[in-house]
Amino acid sequence: MIKLIPGKKGSGKTKVLIDSIHEAEKKSKGNVVAIQIGSSLNIDIYHKIRLVNIEDFKIHDYDDLYGFIAGILASDYDCTDIFVDGVLRIVGRDLDKVGEMFDRIAAISENTHVVFTISADVDALPESIKKYL
């Protein structure tokens, strides 16, 4: 199941994401993963959360990120939540391809909550993405 946290740069998406991560950690009976670029979340996230710096894995496009998330799901059957901060900075700004990637991830994440922050105005998003709001 996919959920989006949309908004323009500086609109508070990361704060909402951090609060959502903490809430998931409290409720989860399994593992919670937070994917980020660099180490911006390191000081704000509880130590129980598995933090992943996506730069360490050379993820650059839609297929790469889909495969990475699929790999997490395949290797960790106790993963209840995955949070991805800055999806457009990771994969690029082709919103149609992002929508296709979300569809693919939704198809394999029935039992896992996958939350993305996306730096875009809601009105600018295509229907393929808006359906995940």
Residue 131's pLDDT is what?
A: 97
| Segment 32-79, tens digit of pLDDT | 999 999 887 777 887 899 999 999 999 989 999 999 999 999 999 999
Domain extent for 26 = 2-130
Token pair of 46 as six digits: 């509880």
Those residues with Cβ within 8 angstroms of residue 19's Cβ, 6 or more apart along the chain or in another chain? none
Average pLDDT over residues 108-124: 96
Q: Nearest-CA neighbor of 60 among 16, 91, 34? A: 91
Is the confidence at residue 107, as pLDDT, over 90? Answer: yes
Q: Report the number of distinct structural domains present in the chain.
A: 1
Say what percent of the chain tops pLDDT 70. 100
pTM, two decimal places: 0.95
Residue 120 has pLDDT above 80, yes or no: yes
- Asked if residues 132 and 19 have their Cβ atoms less than 8 Å apart, the reply is no
Q: CATH number, domain at 69?
A: 3.40.50.300
